[in-house]
Amino acid sequence: MVEGFLFAMFAGVAVGCALGVVFHRNPVHCALLLVGVLLSLAGIFVMLHAQFVAALQVIVYAGAIMVLFLFVVMLLNIKGESPLLSPGAAKGFGFLFALLVCVELFWTVVQPGGQEGVMPEAAPLAHDFGSPAALGKLLYTTWLYPFEITSILLLVAVVGAVVLAKRKFF
Amino acid sequence: METTPAIPLIWYQVLAAILFTIGVVGVLVRRSALIIFMSIELMLNAVNLSLIAFSRQNGTMDGHILVFFVMAVAAAEVSIGLAIIVAIFRNRETASVDDVHLLKG
């Protein structure tokens, strides 16, 4: 009962803020509404026993990435777009394709069975499910190579950002 | 520990589908490059929600690891993308994707 109420609240806030991100005129408001989406998703992660990922969501996404967004929005001092949406045909096609994606996703989610059969009942959870210790153990054993590759990716991103910021392009 | 979740898996998947669709709309109809980036973040988060929900259903933590990688890739993507937007803005005084058409000839 409580879970149902919490889920409805978090889902409502997430969807409302997401609509605001897409349709609000002022980029600063868009960024702040996106923080709302990220925080409500963090709440849903806690409901799914993913406490550590929820903490990461708040610290990394809502903390670091959104600060970067706000920094760039305020640095560039971008005014709201005069016509908010793409003009004419592009907008129509955009909504059409989005509708197609929506229908396809809902069909995939809602259709009973399908080729792979129905999802099994929820498995019982280990006592340390979602804890940093369990996540770290998995990350440094099974997923060690992807983890190392991610570090290389971040290094490349840092070097690329520095190069892009120093020179004049375009 | 607890076995039956209060909210069925399908509700989380429906929420993820809705958020992903809103992100698609943002990428397709908005013209500011910054808002397009925010919509991409929205889509990544919808996928994260889907992964976490499946992870809870299966009782394994591999989905959490994937979310961890998605966050790392998103951080790299945002830093590079925003650097590109700043570089474009410094030279062309615009952040609208309609005004950046050098390759069009």
Contact B23, A18 (CB under 8 A): yes
| Closest-CA residue to A42 (of B20, B25, B71) | B71
| pLDDT tens over chain B, length 105 residues | 455 677 888 889 999 999 999 999 999 888 888 899 999 999 999 999 999 999 998 888 899 999 999 999 999 999 999 988 888 888 877 778 777 777 776
Comparing alpha-carbon positions, the chain A residue that sits nearest to B93 is: A76
The structure tokens listed for B46 are: 């919808």
- Looking up tokens 């910021």 gives A165
Stretch among A114-123, A142-151, B67-76 having the lowest mean pLDDT: A114-123
pLDDT at position A169: 58
Please state the rounded mean pLDDT for residues A110-135: 76
DSSP B13: H
DSSP A144: H
Give the pLDDT band (50/70/90) at residue A88.
confident
Q: Is the pLDDT of residue A87 over 80?
A: no
Hey, are the CB atoms on B38 and A34 less than 8 Å from each other? yes
Residue A98, classed as helix, strand or coil, is helix
pLDDT at position B6: 74
Contact B24, A55 (CB under 8 A): no
Q: Is the pLDDT of residue A119 over 80?
A: no
Of B72, B80, B90, the CB nearest to A161: B80
Q: Over the Cα atoms of chain A, what is R_g?
A: 21
CATH of B10-95, picked from 3.30.1520.10, 1.10.287.3510, 2.170.8.10, 3.30.499.10, is: 1.10.287.3510
pLDDT at position A53: 93
Hey, are the CB atoms on A126 and B1 less than 8 Å from each other? yes
pLDDT at position B92: 79
Higher pLDDT, A18 or A1: A18
User: Residues B39-77, buried b or exposed e (16+ Cβ, 10 A)?
Assistant: bbbbbbbbbbbbbbbbbbbeebbebbbbbbbebbebbbb
The structure tokens listed for B2 are: 């607890």
In this structure, chain A runs to a length of 170
pTM (predicted TM-score): 0.90
Interface test with A, best of B12, B28, B57 (most A CBs within 10 A): B28
pLDDT at position A12: 95
The structure tokens listed for A59 are: 């610290």
| Closest-CA residue to B97 (of B19, B40, B42) | B40
Give the pLDDT band (50/70/90) at residue A83.
low
pLDDT at position A113: 61
Contact A4, A28 (CB under 8 A): no
- Looking up tokens 């937007």 gives B85
The structure tokens listed for A161 are: 């950002």
- Distance CA(A46)–CA(A31), nearest Å, equals 23
Residue A130, classed as helix, strand or coil, is coil
pLDDT at position B48: 95
pLDDT digits (tens, 9 = 90+) for A43-63: 999 999 999 999 999 999 888
Q: Is the pLDDT of residue A115 over 60?
A: no
Q: How far is A10 from chain B (nearest CA, A)?
A: 10
Element (H, E) at A120: none
Q: How far is A58 from chain B (nearest CA, A)?
A: 11
pLDDT at position B3: 54
Contact B41, A34 (CB under 8 A): yes
Give the pLDDT band (50/70/90) at residue A15.
very high
Q: Is the pLDDT of residue A160 over 70?
A: yes
Please give the share of chain A, as a percent, with pLDDT higher than 90: 45
| Cβ-Cβ contacts under 8 Å for A13 (sequence gap 6 or more) | A36, A37, A40
| Closest-CA residue to A38 (of A59, A68, A24) | A59
- What DSSP letter does each residue of A16-80 carry, written as one string? HHHHHHHH-S-HHHHHHHHHHHHHHHHHHHHHTT-HHHHHHIIIIIIIIIHHHHHHHHHHHTPPP
- Looking up tokens 């019982």 gives A124
A·B CB contacts under 8 A? 253
